[in-house]
Structures are given as structure tokens and as C-alpha cells.
């Protein structure tokens, strides 16, 4: 393992990022890098392709390189990675997604550079576990389910760390209601609005949101519903909306850059996912003073206090989700109280500065001789 003096220069950090859709993982990386102390870290990024994501990385001062990051070892990527580690005097590698973890593990062993993989899902994949075992990488998880699974698989506590996702509670905060989304989907300001925030892809269950909206609309004639996001299911969802005759009250707003204004337009946020780890959109909504209704999957149970900050339903319980929407939308007082409690919980449990500080501490500890111990790295 390399030994450097961090008092003499910043830590040179190589981020290997295995995706580029600007989803939850990419958002996590951007926010982390914005919060890492610039005096302590100099960041190089290795990405799968040029995209809006790489442009944003460069905007925040990262050096960005592009290479294929595949599920099987790619010689071009290995060669570039080794060259970057040598040329930029990289001290520690941080990987995101299994394909990036594989490359990080190979580079770690070839160059004797410590590597950390952050697991963004509810569980480790078999690839993540295999790379850890063969390459002796360190593992950080964002969900408690992944932490306990990793322990059950035999990952030593000294190689494992749980650091919950966090959001900027100064950026996402309660405020006056706005008509930001209303103007985008062309409805009257002040219209009650229930939102789905997420990628329009099968694991997120956006079709369940539409089905629940169809049921709830029968009792909430003045309420509208909006899906904020993009993805491969957009055409299918548009067809479903038309088929159910919901075109006047269910809308697809697409991707939105100004998320604080999005939350300020909503009265309630609904998550209908089949699989989640620690969804940032849910925590952002809570920080913005909104109650949430969600499916009880993955790390969601660690975010939502049932009956206090929101309500939970089992996966595919469309009728239950719809009934909960109706219950909260008809009770302004209960919705407001849940929103206040949600804001408090986000501040206490999911503050971005805490997450970034813990990650910074962990990355720094990996290059300090004698500091990588079961007590310092493995605490839960």
C-alpha cells in the first residue's frame, strides 16, 4: 500500500464511474465530489462515455477521461487506468457499480493502490463480492440491507462501511408553494399535485403510479398527477395514460434540472418502486417538507417512519397506494404535520455534509499506515 503525507499535498483520487444516465448513482457522485474538501482532494474521473454527466464533472473541476468500462476486463481500460494512476500519482481509487468495481480491483492489484467500491443498490452483486474477495477491495454501502448481507457473506468488518445517502438540506427545504410544474404541464396554479420522481424504467414501477392515480382520481376530481423523469418506458406510459382516459389529469414532465422548484410545486410524493436502496428523491422530498407514500422495499423502511413522515405499502398494492393518496390529499392538516416531521428526519439522519464527511474520512484512512482497523473502518 502506498504511503503519502497528506500534509504535503492533496490526496489524488481516481473515481471510476460505471454509468452515465444521471440517475441516483451519478447524482451521488456529483454531490460527493462537490462536497469533498478541495484542499484535501484532487479528483480524476474515468467514465464510460462522453455525456451530460461528464460535462458536469468537468464543470466542478474534475479531470475526466473516457474508456469502455465493461463487465469483462477490457485491455484498453486497464492500460489507461494504470497510466492515469502513474501519471496523476493516484493515492486511492473509488468505484461505483460492479463494472467499475472490477476495473478498480484489477488496477488496485496491479499498482498497489487501495480501492474502495460504493454499493448503491440494496444488495451486493455476485460480481462485487467476487472482486472484493479476489482483489481485497474495501466496500462501502448506502443501505443497511447491503451492510448485513455483506457481513453474512463473510466480508470482514474491517473492509466494510455503511454510509447512508444524504441530501443538501439547505438546497432542499420547505418553502412557499410554486406553480413551476404547473406551468410545464399546463395546469392552473394552485391545483393539487401528486408527484412521481424517478427514472421511467421497470424497476421504478411508474405504471403502478398511473394505476393508483386512476383509482385515486375518482375521489380527487381536482387533483392532478405528474411523473418527473425520463426512461425507456415513456412511450408505454403515455399509451397507458391515454388508454385509461387520464390525459387531462396525469402528466409526464420529463427530466427537470431545478429539483427544488419541482418539490415546491408538489403536495405529496409517491414512490412505487419494485427495488430500491436509499432513494435520493425520497429523501429530497422529505427535506423539502413533503410526506411520502412508498412501496416497502430495500432501504425505504429506514427512511420512512410509518404514520409519522409518510406511509408504506407492499409492492403492487395499487389499491392501498391509491387509498393512502386519497387519505392524505383530503387531510391538509395531517399532510402538513407529516411534512414537518419528514423535514426534521431528513435534517437529523440524511444530511449530505455528514455523508460526504464520512466518505472523505474513509478515503483518507485507506492511505494512512496503521489507521485501517476494524474499529475505524467497520463501525456501523
Count of structural domains, the chain = 2
- Of the ranges 21-35, 142-156, 185-199, 213-227, which one carries the lowest mean pLDDT score? 21-35
Instruction: Let me know whether 196 and 328 are in one domain.
Output: yes
Q: Which residue has the cell 497528506?
A: 6
Please report how the helices 98-111 and 75-87 are oriented relative to each other, as an axis angle in degrees rounded to 10: 60
Q: Over the chain, what is the mean pLDDT?
A: 93
pLDDT at position 73 is 86
Domain-located, residue 38: yes
Integer angstrom CA distances of residue 257 from 9, 261, 346? 35, 9, 21
Domain-located, residue 341: yes
Q: Give the mean model confidence (pLDDT) for residues 9-16.
A: 95
Instruction: Let me know whether 367 and 331 are in one domain.
Output: no
CB 272 within 8 A of CB 208: yes
Instruction: Let me know whether 98 and 29 are in one domain.
Output: yes
CB 196 within 8 A of CB 290: no
pLDDT at position 257 is 87
Instruction: Give φ, ψ of 147 to 5 degrees.
Output: -60, -50
Instruction: Let me know whether 357 and 313 are in one domain.
Output: no
Give the number of other CB atoms < 10 A from CB of residue 44.
19
pLDDT at position 368 is 67
Does the pLDDT at position 380 exceed 50?
Answer: no
Domain-located, residue 257: yes
Domain-located, residue 2: no
Instruction: Let me know whether 145 and 237 are in one domain.
Output: no
CB 318 within 8 A of CB 274: no
CB 132 within 8 A of CB 139: yes
Instruction: Let me know whether 192 and 334 are in one domain.
Output: yes
Task: Identify the domain containing residue 312 by its residue range.
Answer: 180-349
Instruction: Let me know whether 132 and 195 are in one domain.
Output: no
Does the pLDDT at position 378 exceed 50?
Answer: no
Instruction: Let me know whether 33 and 48 are in one domain.
Output: yes
Domain-located, residue 6: no
pLDDT band at residue 371 under the 50/70/90 scheme:
very low
CB 180 within 8 A of CB 264: yes
Instruction: Let me know whether 69 and 121 are in one domain.
Output: yes
Domain-located, residue 175: no
Does the pLDDT at position 135 exceed 80?
Answer: yes
Instruction: Let me know whether 159 and 81 are in one domain.
Output: yes
Half-sphere exposure of 79 (CA within 13 A, CB side): 4
CATH of the domain at 261: 3.40.50.2000
Does the pLDDT at position 228 exceed 60?
Answer: yes
Q: Give the mean model confidence (pLDDT) for residues 145-153.
A: 96
Instruction: Give φ, ψ of 270 to 5 degrees.
Output: -120, 130
pLDDT at position 7 is 56
The verdict on pTM exceeding 0.85 is yes
Three-class SS of the chain: CCCCCCCCCCEEEEEEECCCCCCHHHHHHHHHHHHCCCCCEEEEEEECCCCHHHHHHHHCCCEEEECCCCCCCCHHHHHHHHHHHHHCCCCEEEEECHHHHHHHHHHHHHHCCCEEEEECCCCCCHHHHHHHHHHCCEEEECCHHHHHHHHHHCCCHHHEEECCCCECCCCCCCCCCCCHHHHHHCCCCCCCEEEEECCCCHHHCHHHHHHHHHHHHCCCCCCEEEEECCCCCHHHHHHHHHHCCCCCCEEECCCCCCHHHHHHHCCEEEECCCCCCCCHHHHHHHHCCCCEEEECCCCHHHHCCECCCEEEECCCCHHHHHHHHHHHHCCHHHHHHHHHHHHHHHHHHCEHHHHHHHHHHHHHHCCCCCCCCHHHHCCC
Cell of 338: 407529516
- Of the ranges 13-17, 72-76, 341-345, which one carries the lowest mean pLDDT score? 72-76
pLDDT at position 181 is 97
Q: What is the pLDDT of residues 92-113, one digit of tens each?
A: 999 999 999 999 999 999 999 9
CB 44 within 8 A of CB 17: no
Instruction: Let me know whether 162 and 196 are in one domain.
Output: no
CB 98 within 8 A of CB 72: no
pLDDT band at residue 369 under the 50/70/90 scheme:
low
Domain-located, residue 225: yes
Q: What is the pLDDT of residues 251-268, one digit of tens each?
A: 999 999 899 999 999 999
Integer angstrom CA distances of residue 264 from 106, 173, 258, 259, 368? 45, 9, 10, 9, 44
Angle ∠(44,130,358) on CA atoms, nearest 5: 45
Q: What is the pLDDT of residues 35-89, one digit of tens each?
A: 998 889 999 999 999 999 999 999 999 999 999 999 998 999 999 999 999 999 9
Domain-located, residue 171: no
Instruction: Let me know whether 95 and 59 are in one domain.
Output: yes
CB 233 within 8 A of CB 203: no
Give the C-alpha separation, 367 to 94, whole Å.
Answer: 13
Amino acid at each position: 500500500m502506498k504511503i503519502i503525507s497528506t500534509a504535503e499535498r492533496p490526496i489524488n483520487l481516481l473515481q471510476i464511474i460505471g454509468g452515465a444516465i444521471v440517475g441516483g448513482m451519478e447524482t451521488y457522485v456529483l454531490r460527493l465530489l462537490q462536497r469533498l474538501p478541495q484542499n484535501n482532494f484532487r479528483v480524476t474521473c474515468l467514465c464510460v462515455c462522453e455525456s451530460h454527466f461528464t460535462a458536469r464533472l468537468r464543470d466542478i473541476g474534475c479531470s475526466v477521461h473516457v474508456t469502455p468500462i465493461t463487465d469483462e476486463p477490457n485491455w484498453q481500460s486497464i492500460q489507461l487506468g494504470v497510466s492515469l494512476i502513474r501519471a496523476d500519482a493516484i493515492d486511492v481509487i473509488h468505484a461505483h457499480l460492479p463494472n467499475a468495481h472490477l476495473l478498480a480491483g484489477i488496477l488496485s492489484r496491479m499498482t498497489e493502490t487501495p480501492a474502495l467500491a460504493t454499493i448503491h443498490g440494496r444488495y451486493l452483486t455476485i460480481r462485487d463480492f467476487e472482486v472484493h474477495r479476489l482483489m481485497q477491495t474495501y466496500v462501502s454501502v448506502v443501505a443497511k440491507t447491503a451492510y448485513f448481507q455483506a457481513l453474512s457473506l463473510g466480508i470482514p468488518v474491517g473492509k466494510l462501511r455503511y454510509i447512508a445517502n444524504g441530501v443538501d438540506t439547505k438546497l432542499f427545504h420547505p418553502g412557499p408553494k410554486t406553480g413551476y410544474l404547473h406551468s410545464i404541464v399546463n395546469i392552473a396554479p394552485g391545483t393539487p399535485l401528486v408527484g412521481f420522481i424517478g427514472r421511467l424504467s421497470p424497476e421504478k414501477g411508474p405504471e403502478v403510479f398511473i394505476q393508483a392515480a386512476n383509482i385515486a382520481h375518482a375521489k380527487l376530481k381536482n387533483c392532478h398527477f405528474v411523473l418527473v423523469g425520463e426512461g425507456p418506458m415513456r412511450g408505454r406510459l403515455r399509451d397507458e395514460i391515454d388508454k385509461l382516459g387520464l390525459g387531462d389529469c396525469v402528466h409526464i414532465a420529463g427530466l427537470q434540472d431545478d429539483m427544488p422548484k419541482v418539490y415546491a410545486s408538489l403536495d405529496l410524493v409517491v414512490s412505487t418502486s419494485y427495488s430500491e436502496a436509499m432513494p435520493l428523491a425520497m429523501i429530497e422530498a422529505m427535506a423539502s417538507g413533503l410526506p411520502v407514500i412508498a412501496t416497502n422495499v430495500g432501504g425505504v423502511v429506514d427512511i420512512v417512519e410509518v404514520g409519522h413522515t409518510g406511509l408504506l405499502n407492499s409492492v403492487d398494492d395499487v389499491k392501498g397506494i391509491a387509498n393512502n393518496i386519497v387519505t392524505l390529499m383530503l387531510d391538509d392538516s395531517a399532510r402538513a404535520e407529516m411534512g414537518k416531521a419528514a423535514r426534521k428526519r431528513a435534517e437529523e439522519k440524511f444530511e449530505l455534509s455528514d455523508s460526504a464527511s464520512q466518505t472523505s474520512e474513509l478515503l483518507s484512512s485507506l492511505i494512512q499506515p496503521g489507521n485501517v482497523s476494524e474499529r475505524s473502518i467497520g463501525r456501523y
